[in-house]
Structure formats: C-alpha cells, structure tokens
C-alpha cells in the first residue's frame, strides 16, 4: 500500500469516527429531555411526594391550607399553578386530585382557569420532550392500519385531541405523550389540549369546591375518602356525551367524502 493510500484510508477512518461521535452526541441530546422527566418522576416517588397528592392529605391540612391561601392569595395561586404544571410535566398521576385541590382552595372558576392553563403548559413541555426523542416513531416503524391511524390522527389532530381529552378513556399523562408519536403539530396539540380538558377541569374543580363536607364525613366515619366517592355515574356519562358531540363533525366530514 502506498503512502497516499494509507493517508486516504486514515482520513476515511477519521471521518467515520467523527460521524459516529456526532451521532452519539445527537442521540444523547435527543433523549436528554425524556431522561430528565423520568429522573424527576423517580425522585418524586423516592421522596414520597405522591403521598401529598391525596384526599387524605387535603383532609388533614385543609384548615392550614385555607388559612395560607387567605393570607397569601396571589402567592398561593401562582405556587399552585407552578406545582400543577411541574407535576404534569413530570407525569405525576395526580391531575384529578390537584384539580380538586384547586377547586377547594380557590373556587371552581378561578381554580379551574389556573388548572387549565397550568395543565396545558405542563402537557406541552412533556409533548415537546417526547416529540424530540421519538419524533415520527410510529410512522417509521409500522405500517398498515396503525400507519393509517397515525395519518388520520395527524390530519384530524385538533378534533381527535378534544375527543380523547373529554372522554375518560385514557389516563391524562398517556394523552400528553401519545400525540407526539403521531406527528401532531404543536399548535393543534396546545389548542386541542386546552379546549378538550375544560369540561373535566371545571367539573373536578366544582367537586373540589364542595369536597369539605365529604372529607369531614369520611373523617368522622374513620374511612379514607377517594376520588371515586366524588365522581358520580352522571358525570362520567356527561363526559362521554360531550366526547360524542365533539366527534360528530369529523364523522360527518368522512361520510361526505365517501359519498
């Protein structure tokens, strides 16, 4: 092998090495947001923060929390909004409980507005992290009906998001991540999320506004109150009905196309 050939071979190896190093660096940066979220979730459970997201904690601390809100209303409101956004971004399964907290502490209207804004912000952070890490994962890895579903979700993202947000089908944190796998535009995600969660947010905030009597009754009976004690069959059916109403325009549009 001549000297020129050896030099060219070495340069080729150097270029390949640089390419591999850059690829690894890009992958590290790509998955970093998801790693931070998973790490934050793990630390939260390790420190037992999930124990504070319960009706039992609200029952024990309701007087102290109410007194703090009365004395520091604006600070309490901003702190609650920040807590809700962070809990949502780190996928803590506490959306229902925290919304009830918001209704109890600030009333159904103010509490509901703060929750809707904070939940949308936190969900958007999680969506961006998942989209950065996984991108068009489903469309690249699968075909057939799943790919058609992904295409349909992408084309009707706004409507689908509203329906899935209203209907009590999937957990809140799953719906924060799933659209990222279907290449849903950020604008559609934010708008669909905000509008779609409004019925549930105000319903749970309203439950929170009147939860004190339930907490007192549970304490007197020596039992632990749960969200199931507050959510009636009528509320669940109402959510399902709203979801059906929301999906009607999309169904009509598809039928017209077929005809």
pLDDT tens-place string over residues 60-117 = 888 999 999 999 999 999 999 999 999 999 888 888 889 999 999 999 999 999 999 9
Q: 201 by DSSP, 3-state: which?
A: helix
The answer, yes or no, to whether residue 143 has pLDDT greater than 80, is no
Q: 200 by DSSP, 3-state: which?
A: helix
Q: Is 255 exposed, middle or buried (0-12, 13-18, 19+ CB in 10 A)?
A: exposed
The answer, yes or no, to whether residue 2 has pLDDT greater than 60, is no
pTM comes to 0.76
Token pair for 51: 């124990």
The answer, yes or no, to whether residue 12 has pLDDT greater than 80, is no
Q: How many CA atoms lie within 13 A of 8 on its CB side?
A: 5
Q: 153 by DSSP, 3-state: which?
A: helix
pLDDT tens-place string over residues 20-58 = 445 555 556 667 777 777 887 888 888 888 788 888 888
Token pair for 172: 């809140």
Those residues whose C-beta lies under 8 Å from the C-beta of residue 51, and which sit 6 or more positions away, are: 57
The answer, yes or no, to whether residue 137 has pLDDT greater than 70, is no
Q: 183 by DSSP, 3-state: which?
A: coil
Q: Looking at residue 167, what is its pLDDT?
A: 74
């Amino acid at each position: 092998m001549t000297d020129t050939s050896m030099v060219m071979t070495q340069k080729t190896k150097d270029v390949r090495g640089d390419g591999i190093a850059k690829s690894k660096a890009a992958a590290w940066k790509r998955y970093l947001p998801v790693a931070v979220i998973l790490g934050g979730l793990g630390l939260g459970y390790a420190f037992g923060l999930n124990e504070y997201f319960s009706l039992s904690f609200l029952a024990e601390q309701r007087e102290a929390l109410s007194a703090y809100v009365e004395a520091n209303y604006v600070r309490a409101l901003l702190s609650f909004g920040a807590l809700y956004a962070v809990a949502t971004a780190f996928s803590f399964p506490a959306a229902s409980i925290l919304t009830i907290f918001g209704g109890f502490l600030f009333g159904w209207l103010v509490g509901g507005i703060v929750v809707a804004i904070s939940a949308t912000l936190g969900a958007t952070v999680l969506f961006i992290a998942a989209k950065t890490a996984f991108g068009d994962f489903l469309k690249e890895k699968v075909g057939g009906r799943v790919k058609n579903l992904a295409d349909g979700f992408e084309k009707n993202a706004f409507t689908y998001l509203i329906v899935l947000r209203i209907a009590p089908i999937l957990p809140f944190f799953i719906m924060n991540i799933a659209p990222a796998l279907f290449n849903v535009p950020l604008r559609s995600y934010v708008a669909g999320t905000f509008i779609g969660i409004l019925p549930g947010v105000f319903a749970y905030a309203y439950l929170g506004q009147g939860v004190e009597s339930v907490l007192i009754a549970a304490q007197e009976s020596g039992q632990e109150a749960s969200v199931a004690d507050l959510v009636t069959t009528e509320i669940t059916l109402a959510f399902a009905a709203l979801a059906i109403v929301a999906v009607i325009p999309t169904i009509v549009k598809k039928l017209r196309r077929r005809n």
